[in-house]
Each structure stands twice: as structure tokens, then as C-alpha cells.
Structure 1
Amino acid sequence: MSWIMVIVLALVSFGVAVSAFRLPRVTWTSLAAALLFGLAGYTLQASPGLPGAPRANMATSYTDEWQMRDARVLLVGESLKSRSNAIVTSDAFAQRGQFTDAVGFADIAIRENAQDFEAWLALGNALVEQADGALTQPSLFAYRQASAIAPDNPAPSYFLGLSLIRQGRMVEAYQIWRGALERMGEEGTPAQGFMAERVARLETMLAQAGALPPSPGTAADQGE
């Protein structure tokens, strides 16, 4: 549809130039050629399928390299997976950038079952996105509720840390992620590998920036 509009606009421009400005017939060929070259350039370089407003890319923050929904599914595990259809609907709205609706359906799942671990996580994530990436009191409450239901599961800590990273609070995020990794059980599981890789990535970034916090052992040594 965008290409049709461009062609129509070119034809209208030609018609307006000829009729309104009364260009002599000898210039029509030059004008047509200029418009043709313009269309050729647009064909080679333009991207009419891209949205024109930044707001249209809201869903990007929910489906970026961290893959929030996929990470949630991996970290939650089968035993804590939500059975509510409202979560499926909440995810669908979130992936389209409609976070207010995502919050509403996550809340429905929680009202159906207040012990729905994944529903609390989905609510926390949707609330963060609704606030343009900011960690708010409602989202923090949702993560805390999830953590209270399953204290050993790393998912609440992971998403809390991710929210802190988006606010530039890298050291706090590292400490939270590191603690969650240390509380995890058997090594070699997909969830453990997921957390270990992200802790290592963040640790490398902090070390390169000279912002890596001292380990507990080092702090103890310095206190002696």
C-alpha cells in the first residue's frame, strides 16, 4: 500500500506542477524524469514497512535479546507453570506492546489463583513495561509475591535484576543475580546455565568498567 501511495503522490505532483504552475510542455519530460529518478531512489533505499513513530516499537522492549517470555518459561519450570488461559492472553497483549491489557489479564489469573507463581511474574513484567522500563512499587510487590511463593526459584530475582539494569543500577543487579545463582540447585540444568551465563556476562561488563564489587572474602580480609 505504501508503494501505491508513493506512485500516486508522484502522479499528483506532476499534475499539480503542470496545471497549477503552468509549466511549458517542453519541461514536462524533464519533470517526469526527475520524478522517475526519485521513485527509483526510493525503491532502492526506502523502508516503507518500518513504523514511523517510536511508540510503535514499544513491543521491542518486551521481545529484545533477553527474550523475557522465553526466559520466564525457562526459569519457572513445569512445576510452577501457570495453568491459566489469562496468562496466554496477557502474553499476547504484552508482545504487541499493549501492556495495560497485559496487566489486566495477569491480574485476572492472580484473582483466579493467588498462589499462581508465573502470574505474579507476568504481572511484574507487564507493570515494568507499562512504566517504560521503570521498577515501580506495584511491580516490585509482584516480584516479592512470586518470591514468597517459591523462594528458591531464580525468576523473580532475574527479572528484578533486569529492571535494575535498565535503570543503570548494574552493581545491584549483579548482586541480586549472583545471590539467585548461588541459591540454585543442581548445576547443568537449562535454568542454571541461563543464569550462570548472564551472571558471567554482567560480571565481565562490570569488571571492564572497574565497577565490580569486592567479593565477601576480600572484604573480610580487608577487615582483619
Structure 2
Amino acid sequence: MIGWLIFLVLAIALLGLLAWRVRLDRGLLMLAAAAVAVAAAGYSWQGRPGLGGHPGEALQDRKPGETAFADERHDWMDSVGPEAQVLDTADAFIRNGDPDYAVGVLRGAIAQAPRSPMLWIGLGNALVHYADGQVTPAAYFAFERAAQLWPGHPAPPYFLGLAEVLSGNVDAGMTRWRRLLMEAPQDAPWRSVVAERLMLVQSLRNNDGKIGP
């Protein structure tokens, strides 16, 4: 019961903070509550909330998830608001080595806000981590859905290209980034970022640097 008690206290504190300090409206607060509910379902399914607290040796062997998406997404998307908070939660689960929880949180949030390109990009990233770094058809679908909802925005193709590069499909990722540059306005502020990434990946390949898992 200790696990459930801790989870309940944290959930109440989070929702109270969003309602009182952040002052979210009713609809956005319901979105946050849905994300908490999905997290609770995942905890009940995967975890053992009835067990008492005890440090497990297996945790020492767990490697935190890669955080390239978390490190870069604030440069491409909004960093505040309920959708950004859901992405923060998903990023935390991935860092802890629990991408399945991240997928659950994002799917729950998308059920409440199905036209959010930010959430679809986050889901694509989480699905890649869930598949041990591979860009699965489900992940491609999530990124492509984000591109449909956000036509002309560079974030969906950029992060799909990043996932492809890190998965080891370097040619596909570089081709996607080159296409992004070709179609971008000359004064786009993010052109230099994509160009630098291309140069870095090409340099690593030329020097036999390891890219991907």
C-alpha cells in the first residue's frame, strides 16, 4: 500500500499545483488528470504497488533512456502549457528506463487532444524507445500524423530524421534532413541547426564514429 499512497499524494499535489498555481481551465485540467489516470493504470499493470519499499539490485543494471528528443525539443516546440507538461512526464519515464509508461501517458493525452502535433511527435519518440531504438511502423505513423497536423513545420521531419539517424538508418535520416533544408525558406532560423547536424553526422561517418544503438 505504500506505493499507492506515494502515488496518490504526488498525483493530488500535481493536480493541485496545476489548478491553483498554473490556473489551468477546466478542459486542460481534465487533460492533465487523464494523463495521471493513464500513469496510474500503467503503475497498476507493470508495477507492484502493494509491496513495501525496498531497494532492488536490478535497478543498478538499468540504463537511463537516451534523451536527445528531450534535450532538443524545447528549441522546436513550446516549452510551456499542458502539452509540454505531458511531454516532460513522458521524458522522465524514458530517462528512468520505462518507455512503456511514456507511451501510455502520451496515448492517454492524445485521446483527449487528438489534433496535437506535439503529442504525436512525443508518441513517435516514445515508441522508438519502446522498440529499443528502432523506428517501427507505429512510430512512423505517429511522426507522419504530426506532419499532417503541422504542415510546413520543421519539427516532425526533423525529429523523425533524428530517430532514424540514432536507430542506425543514417542514410534515411540524412536524406530527410537534406529535403527539409531544400524546402525551407532561406531565412528560416533553424536552417543552421539542421545543417550543423548534417555536418556532424557526416563527420562521424567519415571518421568511423559510432552512430545509433
Q: How many residues align?
A: 149
User: What is the one-letter code of the residue matched to 2:73?
Assistant: R
Specify the structure having the higher radius of gyration (Cα). 1
In 2, Cα distance between equivalents of 1:89 and 1:205 = 32
Which is further off, 119-128 or 100-109?
100-109
Indicate if the aligned counterparts of 1:76 and 1:155 stay in contact, CA closer than 8 A. Answer: yes
Shift of 1:114: 1.1
Indicate if the aligned counterparts of 1:99 and 1:127 stay in contact, CA closer than 8 A. Answer: yes
User: What is the one-letter code of the residue matched to 1:57?
Assistant: K
2:155 maps to 1:155:
yes
Question: What CA deviation, in whole Å up to 9, does each residue of 1:144-192 have, x standing for no partner?
Answer: 0011111322222222222222333222211101111222335362x33
Shift of 1:70: 2.8
Distance 1:82 1:136, change over 3 A: farther
Point out where structure 2 has 5 or more consecutive residues left out of the alignment. Answer: 1-58, 209-213
Indicate if the aligned counterparts of 2:64 and 2:94 stay in contact, CA closer than 8 A. Answer: no
In 1, Cα distance between equivalents of 2:156 and 2:110 = 16
Name the structure 2 match of 1:222: none
Point out where structure 1 has 5 or more consecutive residues left out of the alignment. Answer: 1-50, 210-224
Residue 64 of structure 2: which of 58, 66, 74 is its match? 58
Name the structure 1 match of 2:182: 182
Distance 1:129 1:201, change over 3 A: same
In 2, Cα distance between equivalents of 1:208 and 1:91 = 31
Indicate if the aligned counterparts of 2:106 and 2:123 stay in contact, CA closer than 8 A. Answer: yes
- Across the aligned residues of Structure 1 and Structure 2, the Cα RMSD in angstroms comes to 2.4
Name the structure 1 match of 2:200: 201
> Percent identity at matched positions?
29
In 1, Cα distance between equivalents of 2:92 and 2:130 = 15
Distance 1:150 1:166, change over 3 A: same
Taking structure 2 as the reference length, the TM-score comes to: 0.61
In 1, Cα distance between equivalents of 2:130 and 2:81 = 22
Name the structure 2 match of 1:112: 112
Indicate if the aligned counterparts of 1:174 and 1:199 stay in contact, CA closer than 8 A. Answer: yes
- 1:5-154 paired onto structure 2 within 5 Å: 52-53=60-61, 56-59=62-65, 61=66, 63=67, 67-77=68-78, 83-84=82-83, 85-154=85-154
Indicate if the aligned counterparts of 1:82 and 1:118 stay in contact, CA closer than 8 A. Answer: no
In 1, Cα distance between equivalents of 2:95 and 2:64 = 9
Shift of 1:108: 1.7
Indicate if the aligned counterparts of 2:158 and 2:177 stay in contact, CA closer than 8 A. Answer: yes
Taking structure 1 as the reference length, the TM-score comes to: 0.58
Question: What CA deviation, in whole Å up to 9, does each residue of 1:112-139 have, x standing for no partner?
Answer: 1111111001100011001110111111
